[in-house]
């Protein structure tokens, strides 16, 4: 079944269309997780899939993340392509051992004989006023783990195509979905993929400084860039899209155009993905830099209660403050 070419849709709808088309095209594709069947998932990403494809293809599992991922590993070893939904970011940790010691390593441990085509979908990040363990950003744990691909879309169009590309990949993919962007509608062309799975993309060209972001912070950086126009500043916004691997060639090309860079993410700045980008781009582009690569992100503390998350999460003002500091050198 070819998905319709829809001009405007939400990320939830785009993900649903990606799952539906993958299930329709390949009988080895399975969807599994807590409440993904009859309920359609807590965010309704899997809405209607069990009704159309049956309980054997779209399966409600027990509340046991380690068992869910362990079962997916076994299914993958038997030739299936399971897609696991973890309900919320903070619920990933009961399955952490299965992911980093088994899923990530079996290909290398078997000297390439075994393939693990498993996609683990994880809604992540804050901005929705959720309770404890529902707003975390654990992407650095998985990007640090060799053997896992780690990607995150920022738009409905990317959500559709990146999920389709992830499902067709023979390696395990951790697919982070920015829940604060789930219900924002945008134009999406579902007729052809806009980029390779791990390619970064310039969202907004600019000349004075590059804002590097991914997932939920791409939209915020676009807002910051548009606000900076009033001050006569032309900021480029680069969407990484992938955290393992990172498209450092695209990051370098952007830095060589603007000569200044600020990396923005929701996760804590301390040992975050921004640290790797800053270090690697400094090694590769030292003589192009007019200022240190700066970072904006969460604080080195547990994620706060929902009524305080606005104090924790990056804002347009915090991003522009970093821009001011970078341009002052």
Q: How many domains does the chain have?
A: 2
CB 209 within 8 A of CB 141: no
Claim to verify: residue 121 and residue 257 sit in the same structural domain? no
Residues 173 and 140 in one domain: yes
Q: Is residue 205 part of a domain?
A: yes
The reply to whether 19 and 102 lie within a common domain is: yes
Please indicate, yes or no, if residue 4 is contained in any of the structural domains: no
**What mean pLDDT do residues 117-138 have?**
94
Beta carbons of 143 and 173 less than 8 angstroms apart: no
Dump pLDDT digits (tens) for 189-222. Answer: 888 888 999 999 999 999 999 999 999 999 999 9
Q: Are residues 49 and 119 in the same domain?
A: yes
pTM of the predicted model as reported, rounded to 2 decimal places: 0.95
Same domain, 160 and 229: no
Specify whether 223 is located in the same domain as 131. Answer: no
pLDDT band at 35 (very low <50, low <70, confident <90, very high): very high
Residue 1 forms part of a structural domain? no
Instruction: Judge whether 61 lies within some domain.
Output: yes
Q: Which of 134, 144, 198, 300 is catalytic?
A: 134
181, 212, 234: which is the final residue of a domain?
181
Residue 190 placed within a domain:
no
Q: How confident is the model at residue 7 (pLDDT cuts 50, 70, 90)?
A: confident
134 in catalytic set: yes
Q: Establish if 6 belongs to a structural domain.
A: no
pLDDT for 30 equals: 98
| pLDDT of 3 above 90 | no
pLDDT at site 6: 67
Share of the chain residues as helix, strand and coil, in percent rounded to the nearest 5? 40, 20, 40
Contact 190, 157 (CB under 8 A): yes
Same domain, 122 and 238: no
Which CATH number goes with the domain that contains 268?
Answer: 3.40.50.920
Domain identity same for 127 and 24:
yes
CATH for 136: 3.40.50.970
In this structure, the answer to whether residues 226 and 160 fall within a common structural domain is no
Closest CA to 224 of 262, 169, 251, 281: 262
| Boundary residue ending a domain (147, 181, 215) | 181
What's the rounded mean pLDDT across residues 137-142? Answer: 97
Q: Please state, in angstroms and rounded to a whole number, the distance separating the CA atoms of residues 299 and 51.
A: 43
Same domain, 315 and 167: no
Residues 150, 249, single domain; the answer is no
The strand order across the sheet containing 29-33 reads 58-60, 29-33, 81-85, 119-124, 173-178, 149-151, 242-244
Q: Provide the pLDDT for residue 221.
A: 98
pLDDT tens digits, residue range 263-305?
999 999 999 999 999 999 999 999 999 999 999 999 999 999 9
Q: Establish if 196 belongs to a structural domain.
A: no
Name the residue range of residue 263's domain: 201-327
The per-residue pLDDT for 194 is: 85
Distance CA 30, CA 192 (A): 24
Q: Element (H or E) spanning 312, and its range?
A: helix 309-312
Domain shared by 214 and 123, yes or no: no
Domain boundary among 181, 212, 245: 181
**3 domain-assigned:** no
Average model confidence (pLDDT) across the chain: 95
């Amino acid at each position: 079944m070819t998905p319709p070419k829809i001009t405007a849709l939400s990320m939830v709808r785009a993900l649903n269309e990606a799952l539906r088309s993958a299930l329709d095209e390949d009988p080895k594709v399975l969807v599994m997780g807590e409440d993904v069947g009859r309920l359609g998932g807590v965010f309704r990403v899997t809405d209607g899939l069990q009704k159309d494809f049956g309980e054997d293809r779209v399966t409600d599992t027990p509340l046991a993340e380690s068992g869910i991922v362990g079962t997916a590993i076994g299914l993958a070893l038997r030739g299936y392509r399971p897609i696991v939904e973890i309900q919320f970011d903070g619920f990933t940790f009961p399955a952490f051992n299965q992911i980093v010691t088994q899923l990530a390593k079996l290909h290398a441990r078997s000297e390439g004989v075994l393939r693990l085509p498993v996609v683990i979908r994880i809604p992540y990040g804050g901005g929705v006023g959720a309770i404890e363990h529902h707003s975390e950003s654990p992407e650095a744990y998985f990007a640090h783990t060799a053997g896992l691909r780690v990607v995150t879309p920022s738009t409905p169009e990317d959500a559709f195509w990146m999920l389709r590309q992830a499902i067709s990949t023979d390696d395990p993919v951790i697919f982070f979905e920015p829940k604060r962007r789930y219900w924002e509608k945008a134009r999406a062309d579902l007729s052809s993929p806009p980029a390779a799975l791990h390619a970064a993309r310039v969202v907004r060209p600019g000349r004075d400084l590059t804002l590097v972001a991914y997932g939920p912070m791409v939209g915020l950086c676009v807002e910051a860039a548009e606000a900076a126009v009033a001050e006569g500043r032309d900021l480029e916004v680069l969407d990484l899209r992938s955290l393992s691997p990172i498209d450092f060639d695209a990051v370098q090309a952007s830095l060589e155009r603007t000569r200044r860079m600020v990396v923005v993410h929701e996760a804590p700045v301390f040992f975050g993905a921004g640290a790797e980008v800053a270090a690697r781009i400094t090694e590769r582009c030292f003589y192009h830099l007019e200022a240190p690569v700066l970072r904006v992100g969460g604080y080195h503390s547990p994620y706060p209660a929902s009524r305080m998350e606005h104090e924790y999460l990056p804002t347009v003002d915090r991003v522009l403050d970093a821009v001011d500091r970078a341009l002052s050198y």
